[in-house]
Chains A and B, each alone.
Chain A
Amino acid sequence: MAAQQVHPGTDRYSMAELFVIAMARVMSGEEEKRGGGGANAVMPLAASRLAQVTVAPNLWLSTGGAGSMNGKFNRLPLGTWDPTCDIGAECKNYMMDVVDTFLKGRMPGGRMSAGDGMGSAGGIQIDKFGNTNMIGIGPHPHLKLRGPGTVGTIWTACAPQGLFVEHHNKRLLVDKVDYISAPGWLDGGDTRYKLLDNRPGPVFCWTPICVCDFTEDTHRMRLVSVHPGYTVKDVVDNTGFELVIEGDVPQTTEPTDWELHALRTLVDRGGRLKNRRLTVGM
């Protein structure tokens, strides 16, 4: 069965726009924090830029290993390597700085975690504890599916990052990842705290059709809202593990006209998010 494409969403907004707006909302606040994303993390980059120009004036917009910080683009870059990110940038985050600050877990000021904001990691598999796999599927080294390599996804070990996937299906959201290349909450409970010196794990997992977080005790993935046009059943049917579902799960608040205007004029003038391909199902 061909994957069902979820864009363009409704007449009023695309699902990618909803995704980005919902993600931007959690970054509100006047405290200093780090947002952005690396490599192909355009969605968190867009969300962080939107938060920065609306609700988070002291957010530092990072492009991860690509280096430039606080680029002032109003057209969405293709990826963090896109020189559009450098427009108006104030400083560079050199590769060694990325490595050092993540290893340290906190930025030098100690004010913010190296992973604050929704600087985010994805994977070719994510499991119910938010562990992600970028190695591949099947026995190593002759994998059935060879992933691209694990790049900087391991930094989820150091700081509480967000996880995100642009495709929601059972092949991606699995009960147990074949390989843990980036740790989430490991086996749940306090297993992560024990191994990683109490460093907290992922906070949210964003998908094209829902938002999940992790329960406070078992650290299992919990469904917190379902996007308009989809039901809890759609989410359950397309997820390869049992999500924690507590009571009635609300519908994600739709983007308002104010939010769409802000996104389309201040962040995504080129309208890239209108056509970004997000999918649900296999």
Chain B
Amino acid sequence: MSKVYKHMIPLEQQLPKNPERRSKLIDLEEAGKIIASQKTVSIAGSHSMDGAMALIRSAIRNGAKDMTLIPPTTTSIAADLWIGAKALKKLYLSYVGFEFLGFAPNFRDAAQKGDTSLEIVEADEPFIQLGTQAAAGGRPFNVVQHLYEATVHPQLNKELKTVVDPFTGRTVYAIPALKSDVAIIHAQAADIYGNAQCWGGNRQEPDKCKAASMVIVQADKIVSTEEIAKDASKTTVPGPWVDYVVHAPFAAHPTFSSGAYAVDEQHLRLYLEMCKEGKIKEYLDKYVYGPKDHWEYLELVGGMKRLTELQTMLAIN
């Protein structure tokens, strides 16, 4: 027998050098560098909720540029900030806006000024969700009918194609698989092995993870695996999918973290105001490039007092 067959070697002779499970915790800046080195990034959360903001700031700070963003079906600052920082080359658009606070300033600027450096793919909820779902299962595309036959999307979005339904002969629309290099996910709690709990939201995160080559989770709180194991069904991102975990309290700030703290409306208003006054560079300098780490960012946006207020708002709202 020339080949080494491990089934012939007793277990006690194969004990690992390190018998501990390997932690997936890394530093926020390290995560930012990893994200910045990728080409296509996808994010979950929705509206101004559960944004992977600490990771996004870190990626921008670490030089992310020419990225393609596959956002959630609705998003605000989690897309607008990338655009303001000139980090995006291509955006799959479903909804980028601040809802009751108005339009997304940097997105609008880039789009309306005919800024050719940003390609906008005229996507929508089904396009993003079904494209992601196709990629999640390594399928080449997903199929829909009774939608784009009636709209302008096929003229504007060349990634939409038609295909013949082999069962009925009817022409239907094919949405391509939307794979990403890295999915960055906000979770309220995670253990160091990657089991992550997203307490709210609309479950865009599992498909985004499955459709990605790499998954990085930012967690408001690190909890023990015993805590996770109290209810395995609460783990919305299973550990085996996850490459890295970053611990960053209030990591979704200024967006809402489901069940943990409220949206920082004041901060969003400040962001919008500064952007409208053409001061996006000042905003970035102060809140993205300026702080030496996440702790300094948290101090800058109001520290313990403001952050505690945001937590309390959820309880008394």
Residue numbers of A with Cβ under 8 A of B are: 21-26, 28-30, 32, 34, 50-51, 54-58, 60, 68-70, 72, 86, 88-93, 97, 99-101, 103-105, 107-112, 204, 211, 213, 224-225, 246-247, 250, 252-253, 255-256, 258-259, 262
Contact = CB atoms under 8 A, between A and B. Distances in A.
B19 A57 contact: yes
A247 B19 CA distance: 37
Contact of B206 (A26, A97, A107, A211): A97
Interface stretch (B9-17, B107-115, B251-259): B9-17
B66 interface: no
B16 A30 contact: yes
A104 B210 contact: yes
B274 interface: no
A93 B21 CA distance: 20
9 contacts: A21-B11, A22-B7, A24-B11, A28-B11, A32-B22, A90-B228, A108-B213, A110-B214, A256-B11
A92 B8 contact: no
Contacts of B183: 108
Interface string B235-247: 1001111110000
B7 A101 contact: no
A112 B194 CA distance: 15
Given A108-B210, A250-B1, A225 B232 contact: no
Contacts of A60: 239-240
A258 B10 contact: yes
Contact of B8 (A99, A250, A258): A250
A30 B17 contact: yes
Nearest to A86: B232
Residue with the highest number of chain A CB atoms closer than 10 Å, among B14, B209, B239: B14
B229 A89 contact: yes
Contacts of B229: 70, 72, 88-90
Contacts of A99: 137
B240 A69 contact: yes
Contacts of A50: 11
A54 B15 contact: yes
Given A57-B20, A90-B235, A253 B10 contact: yes
A30 B18 contact: yes
B167 interface: no
B303 interface: no
Residue with the highest number of chain B CB atoms closer than 10 Å, among A72, A104, A111, A112: A104
Contacts of A93: 238
Given A25-B10, A109-B243, A55 B232 contact: no
B72 to A, nearest CB: 17
Contacts of B14: 25, 28, 55
Contacts of B241: 107-109
Given A57-B22, A109-B214, A32 B11 contact: no
Contact of A256 (B10, B22, B139, B228): B10
A103 B20 CA distance: 31
A109 B7 contact: no
A213 to B, nearest CB: 8
A69 B238 contact: yes
Contacts of B11: 21, 24-25, 28, 50-51, 54-55, 256, 258-259, 262
Contacts of A255: 10
Residue with the highest number of chain A CB atoms closer than 10 Å, among B8, B19, B191, B213: B8
Nearest to A258: B12
Nearest to B212: A108
Contacts of A21: 11
B5 A224 contact: yes
Given A25-B6, A91-B232, A259 B214 contact: no
Given A25-B9, A91-B195, A104-B210, A97 B138 contact: no
